[in-house]
Amino acid sequence: MRARASSTRTGGRRAPQRPAPRTGTGVHRLYGLLAVLLLLGAGLVLPAGGARAADNGTWGVFPTPPAGAALSDRAYFFHQGEAGSTVADSVTIVNSSDRDLTFRVFATDAVNTPSGGAFALLPVEERPADLGRWIVLPAEMAQPLTVPAKGRKDVPFTVKVPGDATPGDHVGGIVVLGTAVEGVRQEGGVRVGVKRSVGARLYFRVPGPLTPGLSVEDVRVNRSAPLLPWVHDARATVSYALVNRGNVVVEPTVTVSARGLFGRGVLDRPARELKVSLLPGQRVELTEDWPDAPQSDRVTVRVRAGAAAHPDLVSESEVAFLAVPWPAVGVLLVLAGAGAGLWALRRGRRARAAADRPAPAPDPAGAR
């Protein structure tokens, strides 16, 4: 199958083509797992999962609200500042439990998870390279922070924008990682301790030329055909990658369609929002189920992506494949081969029987 992609269009201008980040091979980075590699007896200690915004039921992390306002009044941090500027704010950590809790507080960069595109924050052992480096926490945050039961702590911080900061959106967060091991799970021969973390997102925009960029790449179709075609439906999965090659966050909408021979429509999904905030420079792999794929046809699948906030931002890519009910074809070939073998066997037996039959005696009358 060969995929063909069109270039990204952004208001008549081509978006700057940033290299897509490498997804890595071998041991992949565990995005959003915020791992703390501590020895616990014979096991490793890992947090329970990605940093989740706001509250996990035991503790919460929120942008500090103005005096008298509710914590929920600010869902995320949103700031803007010129290159070389400094912005100050504060994050609030709330302990809803009946006991004192101790945390590790740190700042880091945000990413999209490679599969599905969920928002995640880099693990604690991975050094940030962008906004996470700009965020400066108080020096005492280098040590564990204890928040009393039913209490809260306000932690001030500053964002020091480098003088050479590039225009556009920079995304990260402040993460609060519980130091207590809340459980142990077995992974192969290793006992893994579980910790939990919560993160508050921080979106920061540096003014300057803003160029949305979105590219559809690597469209693929994985198809499974039933043994009895036209009795059971064939199924397929359309896989594709979305890459943000611009410098602003994009919320993509995607349309998936397919045409058979002579342009006959065999799939026409309406445009839908993916509920994914695709961060600059990120690449995500997405899939679309196709439960009633054609049994036999010459099919071209097209994936088209855009963004409601950027009407001129359009990218599409397509791939063609030949739908053949191979299991049924295999069964027919086996049956045809068996039938041909039986026919050849019977024909051979008849030929041998004819050869073994004695020749008829000559007619005496005809011999005169």
Q: What DSSP letter does each residue of 63-109 carry, written as one string?
A: EPPPTT--GGG-SSEEEE--TT-EEEEEEEEEE-SSS-EEEEEEEEE
Which pLDDT tens digit goes with each residue over 142-200?
Answer: 999 999 999 999 999 999 999 999 999 999 999 999 998 877 877 777 887 778 899 99
Q: Using CA atoms, how far apart are residues 56 and 99, in angstroms rounded to an integer?
A: 16
pLDDT score for 368: 53
Output phi, psi for 334, to 5 deg.
Answer: -65, -45
pLDDT score for 182: 78
- How much of the chain, in percent, has pLDDT values that exceed 70? 73
For the chain, give the mean pLDDT. Answer: 82
**Topology given in CATH for the domain delimited by 29-206:** Immunoglobulin-like (2.60.40)
CB atoms within 10 A of CB 192: 17
Q: Where does the pLDDT of residue 333 fall: very low under 50, low under 70, confident under 90, or very high at 90 and above?
A: low
Q: Using CA atoms, how far apart are residues 242 and 212, in angstroms rounded to an integer?
A: 13
Q: Which of 250, 210, 277, 256 is CA-nearest to residue 75?
A: 277
Among the listed ranges 23-27, 301-305, 349-353, 361-365, which one has the minimum average pLDDT value?
Answer: 23-27
* Residue at token pair 């966050």: 249
Instruction: Answer whether 249's CB lies under 8 Å from 203's CB.
Output: yes
Q: Where does the pLDDT of residue 69 fall: very low under 50, low under 70, confident under 90, or very high at 90 and above?
A: confident
State the average pLDDT over residues 270-276: 93
Strand, helix or coil for residue 366: helix
Instruction: Answer whether 149's CB lies under 8 Å from 130's CB.
Output: no
Q: Which of 81, 73, 54, 141 is CA-nearest to residue 106?
A: 141
Q: What's the whole-model pTM score?
A: 0.75
Which pLDDT tens digit goes with each residue over 98-123?
Answer: 999 999 999 999 999 999 999 999 98
pLDDT score for 194: 79
CATH of domain 215-326: 2.60.40.10
Say yes or no to pLDDT of 328 above 60: no
Higher-scoring residue by pLDDT: 191, 270: 270
Name the segment(s) of the chain with CATH classification 2.60.40.10: 29-206, 215-326
Output phi, psi for 132, to 5 deg.
Answer: -60, -30
CB atoms within 10 A of CB 185: 12
Strand, helix or coil for residue 336: helix
Say yes or no to pLDDT of 17 above 80: no
pLDDT score for 353: 67
